Amino acid sequence: MALEQVDAYLEKHRDHFEAQLKDLIRIPSVSAQPDHDPDTQRAATFVRDDLAAIGLKAELISTQRHPLVYAEWLGAPGQPTLLVYGHYDVQPPEPLEPWLSPPFEPTIRDGNLYARGATDDKGQMFTHLKAAQAWLKATGSLPVNVKFLIEGEEEIGGVNLEAYVAEHRDRLACDYAVISDTSQFAPGMPAITYGLKGLAYFEIHVQGANRDLHSGTYGGAVANPLNALATILASLKGADGKIRIEGFYDAVKPLEDWERAEFARMPFSEAEFQADLAVPSLVGEEGYTTLERKWARPTCDVHGLFGGYSGPGPKTVLPCKAGAKLSFRLVPDQDPKTVGELFRAHVRKFTPPGVSVEVITQQGAPAVLVSVDSPGFRAAVRAIEAGFGTKPVFIREGGSIPVVGLLKQHLKVDTLLLGWGQNDDNMHGPNEKFSLADFHRGIKAGAHLLEELANEPA
């Protein structure tokens, strides 16, 4: 039987797959840092070449910044088409000091592969290439048609992908989409993610006097932009953890009773969660559990503050400007644009006298919520059972994957979010890792997904 040949191929090529993944991970394709532009180009070429070697028609599509990789195999007429999305770009590895092994030298410890991009998203994305390879090399064909769209600007929220998807609806047309760029609920508990948060990201600039001043000579008489910024930021959230922007919650879809019951049934210990992070207490919006806050309630966080003097020793400066980066994680049905307008109105209202303020929008993506009762979901449940030896749980997550909204908007397709990572994989942080056992389980689940989708009635 074809599937048995595929499974045998996977068993036989485990070491080879790991070696290939390490080669991909050694390329420091940091999309945010222009110094690494030749590396993002190399990573894109690596992915394109591998897809071509597997037997797909593959090409690089240059954009204003990092290239897209597109590949297809359309040899199953009458069968459904699956679009696989992934990203070959990675977050900057800094700070380097806490890494136990160099970020771009993949190193195995305790069955985990440690490196930047191991789980986000090179390791997870690669599982779908290897799944397709097993079918094509072991049987000469795939049970369904497949298209791969692998981008290099996910971590910088690039605009090139949106333009490409909008302009190539016919080329990208599909019945199902799959992304592996999320996590399992816990080790041994694979999951399908049916909800992701959206994102509205801003920079705020506060300007005071036309130059830095002596805080003794001018202090108390001239506004301090850092103080003003602190006033504005402090106005965003109340002691009850609620965001205090007028109208902010208007579009928020309340958690449904069945969902709250499901979340409460998950084997999640708030005490262990707190102990792992060594925080004195957990905080958040009143009236919600930690999982509800993490998965299904909007949040607001400051990511960076700049201004004034922070070098050694005191400096009694009254700075002339200050700034912050901050974002709101959104939930259905909040619109990033509307949130931006509400935020701007709030800032206008809470800006103290004596300074001028500018708000710059840096990123926006809507939240995602898909039905857990669809042919694609049923196929994915069976595929994960085959790959991981146990049925997946259904979860939501707090991260954002902007392409999911684009696929829904332009291709009218819901995405299957089949994450092979773990919550403690240190995505974006030092010592990022990916379990090699999960890598191989993910490949097997991906291979079975192709068969299971072919088995679903159209």
Binding residues for ligand BES, rule: CB under 6 A, are 120-121, 154-155, 157, 181-183, 199, 363, 365, 397, 399-402, 427
Give the nearer residue to Mn ion in terms of CB position, either 82 or 427.
427
Residue 375 burial by Cβ neighbours in a 10 Å radius (0-12, 13-18, 19+): middle
Give the nearer residue to Mn ion in terms of CB position, either 194 or 420.
420
Minimum distance from residue 1 beta carbon to ligand BES (Å): 35
**Extended strands (E) in 31-127:** 57-61, 68-73, 81-87, 107-109, 112-114
**Which listed option, ligand BES, Mn ion, none, makes contact with residue 365 (CB within 5 to 8 Å by class)?**
ligand BES
Say which DSSP state 36 is in.
Answer: G
Inter-CA distances, 388 with 82, 112, 188, 226, 439, Å: 21, 17, 8, 52, 10
- Say if CB 177 and CB 85 are below 8 A apart: yes
Distance separating alpha carbons of residues 64 and 37, to the nearest angstrom: 12
| Cα-based angle 290, 295, 296 (whole degrees, multiple of 5) | 100
Helix or strand run (H / E) with residue 449: helix 436-455
Closest residue to ligand BES, judged by C-beta, is: 399
**Which listed option, Mn ion, ligand BES, none, makes contact with residue 363 (CB within 5 to 8 Å by class)?**
ligand BES
Distance separating alpha carbons of residues 283 and 300, to the nearest angstrom: 13
What φ, ψ does residue 352 adopt, rounded to 5°?
-70, 160
- Contact flag: residue 438 with Mn ion (CB under 5 A): no
Tell me the number of residues near Mn ion by CB under 5 A: 3
Cα–chain center distance at 424: 15
- Contact flag: residue 151 with Mn ion (CB under 5 A): no
Distance separating alpha carbons of residues 412 and 389, to the nearest angstrom: 32
Minimum distance from residue 24 beta carbon to Mn ion (Å): 15
Contact code string over 282-321 relative to Mn ion, x by CB under 5 A: ----------------------------------------
Give the nearer residue to ligand BES in terms of CB position, either 81 or 119.
119
What φ, ψ does residue 168 adopt, rounded to 5°?
-130, 45
Give the nearer residue to ligand BES in terms of CB position, either 308 or 399.
399
Give the nearer residue to ligand BES in terms of CB position, either 324 or 386.
324
Minimum distance from residue 398 beta carbon to ligand BES (Å): 6
Minimum distance from residue 210 beta carbon to ligand BES (Å): 35
Handedness of CA 177, 183, 184, 187 (dihedral sign): positive
Give the nearer residue to Mn ion in terms of CB position, either 120 or 292.
120
- Contact flag: residue 432 with Mn ion (CB under 5 A): no
Of 87, 140, 197, 180, the closest CA to residue 388 belongs to 180
**Which listed option, ligand BES, Mn ion, none, makes contact with residue 397 (CB within 5 to 8 Å by class)?**
ligand BES
- Say if CB 219 and CB 349 are below 8 A apart: no
Give the nearer residue to ligand BES in terms of CB position, either 75 or 157.
157
Residues 168-187 that bind Mn ion (CB under 5 A): 181
Q: Helix, strand or coil for residue 290?
A: helix
Of 171, 167, 169, 140, the closest CA to residue 59 belongs to 171
The one among 39, 50, 89, 120 contacting Mn ion by CB under 5 A = 120
Minimum distance from residue 365 beta carbon to ligand BES (Å): 6
- Say if CB 134 and CB 9 are below 8 A apart: yes
Minimum distance from residue 240 beta carbon to ligand BES (Å): 25
**Which listed option, Mn ion, ligand BES, none, makes contact with residue 299 (CB within 5 to 8 Å by class)?**
none
**Which listed option, Mn ion, ligand BES, none, makes contact with residue 241 (CB within 5 to 8 Å by class)?**
none
Give the nearer residue to Mn ion in terms of CB position, either 72 or 181.
181
Cα–chain center distance at 341: 25
Minimum distance from residue 314 beta carbon to ligand BES (Å): 36
Residue 158 burial by Cβ neighbours in a 10 Å radius (0-12, 13-18, 19+): buried
- Contact flag: residue 153 with Mn ion (CB under 5 A): no
**Which listed option, Mn ion, ligand BES, none, makes contact with residue 289 (CB within 5 to 8 Å by class)?**
none
Give the nearer residue to ligand BES in terms of CB position, either 364 or 387.
364
**Which listed option, ligand BES, Mn ion, none, makes contact with residue 199 (CB within 5 to 8 Å by class)?**
ligand BES
Distance separating alpha carbons of residues 169 and 152, to the nearest angstrom: 20
Give the nearer residue to ligand BES in terms of CB position, either 183 or 426.
183
Of 84, 17, 78, 87, the closest CA to residue 47 belongs to 87
**Which listed option, Mn ion, ligand BES, none, makes contact with residue 182 (CB within 5 to 8 Å by class)?**
ligand BES
Give the nearer residue to ligand BES in terms of CB position, either 73 or 420.
420
**Which listed option, ligand BES, Mn ion, none, makes contact with residue 347 (CB within 5 to 8 Å by class)?**
none
Q: Which stretches of the chain bind Mn ion, using CB under 5 A?
A: 120-121, 181
